[in-house]
């Protein structure tokens, strides 16, 4: 059994939908976890309020309160790729995330995520990711290491004052010249079926658009092309869906255009999507930053 050293947090909703106790809510909220597990976690003092007071089986529901618990999994996968620390000052840390490693705890991953790897490496328990990449995507992730200035860096992403540039490889026909061709995609993305897959709402009007990307082809071989992508917004799977929408789904994508059956990770065939650079004016130091990933995508490797 692997147990996280760091607590996860969930806020109890303001509107109570019939939950008498905190336990009632946790069982309802996390339906993929057997209720007996929540019983045992509470009995083992693994669930508590923000002040450290332990929550009991009969602790009443408290709207808007924060509940802390410790994720645990029976067997945690190990991702055989290293991360790289790119930059660190007193406010932020930039790291390169390898393919297959999640940014935060999720699913079967507890300690084997970039955030907890970095907490262990740096000794900074306050370290917190400011944005996310899909587990399958590699590249740059920014973390806050100072809670006093964290909000300023969150605002970079909320206010879209940071430029994120990605690269992707896709199969392309050899009878069409793509180098220099550009696409600007603006549409509405919605959850599909199953809910972790996204799709484009073709009935949406322009006032309801929520997903905006710019894409251009920068290199081409006989059957593959390298694309540069700039997401203006940050919807789940946005670049993967937008690449599919222009007819060039990203190489080794298990979700788009077709959702493949769940299988073990194939470390020899990572999704060919890389968060390649981050450019922004530091809201605290006023310094202009331009960070580049040390990882690379190469169409020559797939020829």
pLDDT tens-digit series, residues 186-242? 999 999 999 899 999 999 999 999 999 999 999 999 899 999 999 999 999 999 999
**Is-contact 217 225, C-beta < 8 A?**
yes
Domain boundaries, the chain: 2-73, 84-158, 163-302
Which is the CATH superfamily of the domain at 84-158? Pseudouridine synthase (3.30.2350.10)
Q: Which CATH class is domain 2-73?
A: alpha beta
Q: How many CA within 13 A on the CB side of residue 52?
A: 0
- Distance from C-alpha of 260 to C-alpha of 138, rounded to nearest angstrom: 20
Which residue matches tokens 């003092």? 45
Percentage of residues of the chain with pLDDT beyond 90: 89
Strands of 132-270, DSSP E: 138-144, 163-171, 182-187, 189-191, 198-200, 211-220, 224-231
pLDDT of residue 73: 86
Pairing mode of beta strands 211-220, 198-200:
unpaired
From residue 39, give the alpha-carbon distance in Å to each of 18, 26, 32, 61, 66: 19, 10, 14, 15, 19
Q: What pLDDT digit, counting tens, does each position of 164-173 carry? A: 999 999 999 9
2-73 and 84-158 agree in CATH topology: no
Provide the pLDDT confidence category of residue 1 given band limits of 50, 70 and 90: confident
Q: How many CA within 13 A on the CB side of residue 39?
A: 3
Whether residue 246 is predicted with pLDDT greater than 90 in this model: the reply is yes
Which is the CATH superfamily of the domain at 163-302? Pseudouridine synthase (3.30.2350.10)
**Is-contact 196 241, C-beta < 8 A?**
no
Give me the chain's average pLDDT, please: 95
Provide the pLDDT confidence category of residue 301 given band limits of 50, 70 and 90: confident
Q: Return the C-alpha torsion angle 200, 257, 134, 266, nearest 10.
A: 170
Q: What is the pTM of this model?
A: 0.89
Q: Return the C-alpha torsion angle 92, 98, 103, 108, nearest 10.
A: -150
């Amino acid at each position: 059994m692997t147990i996280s050293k760091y607590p996860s947090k969930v806020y109890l909703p303001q509107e109570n939908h019939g939950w008498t106790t905190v336990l009632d809510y946790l069982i309802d909220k996390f339906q993929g976890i057997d209720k007996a597990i929540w019983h045992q976690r509470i009995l083992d003092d693994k669930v508590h309020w923000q002040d450290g007071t332990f929550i009991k089986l009969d602790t009443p529901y408290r709207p808007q309160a924060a509940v802390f618990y410790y994720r645990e999994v029976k067997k945690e996968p190990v991702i055989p790729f290293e991360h790289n620390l790119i930059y660190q000052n007193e406010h932020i840390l930039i790291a390169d995330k390898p393919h297959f490693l999640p940014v935060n705890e999720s699913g079967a991953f507890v300690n084997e995520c970039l955030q907890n790897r970095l907490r262990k490496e740096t000794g900074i328990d306050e370290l917190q990711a400011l944005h996310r990449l899909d587990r399958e995507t590699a590249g740059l992730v920014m973390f806050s290491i100072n809670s006093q200035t964290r909000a300023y860096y969150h605002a970079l992403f909320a206010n879209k004052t940071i430029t994120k540039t990605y690269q992707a490889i896709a199969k392309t026909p050899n009878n069409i010249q793509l180098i220099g061709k550009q696409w600007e995609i603006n549409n509405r993305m919605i959850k599909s079926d199953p809910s972790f897959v996204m799709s484009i709402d073709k009935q949406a009007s322009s006032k309801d658009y929520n997903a905006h990307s710019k894409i251009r082809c920068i290199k081409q071989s006989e059957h593959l092309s390298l694309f540069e992508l700039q997401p203006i917004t940050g919807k789940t799977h946005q670049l993967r869906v937008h690449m599919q929408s222009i007819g060039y789904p990203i190489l080794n994508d298990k979700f788009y255009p077709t959702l493949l059956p769940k299988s073990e990770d194939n470390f020899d065939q990572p999704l060919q999507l890389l968060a390649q650079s981050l450019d922004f004016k530091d809201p605290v130091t006023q310094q202009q930053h331009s960070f580049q990933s040390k990882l690379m995508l190469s169409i020559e490797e797939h020829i």
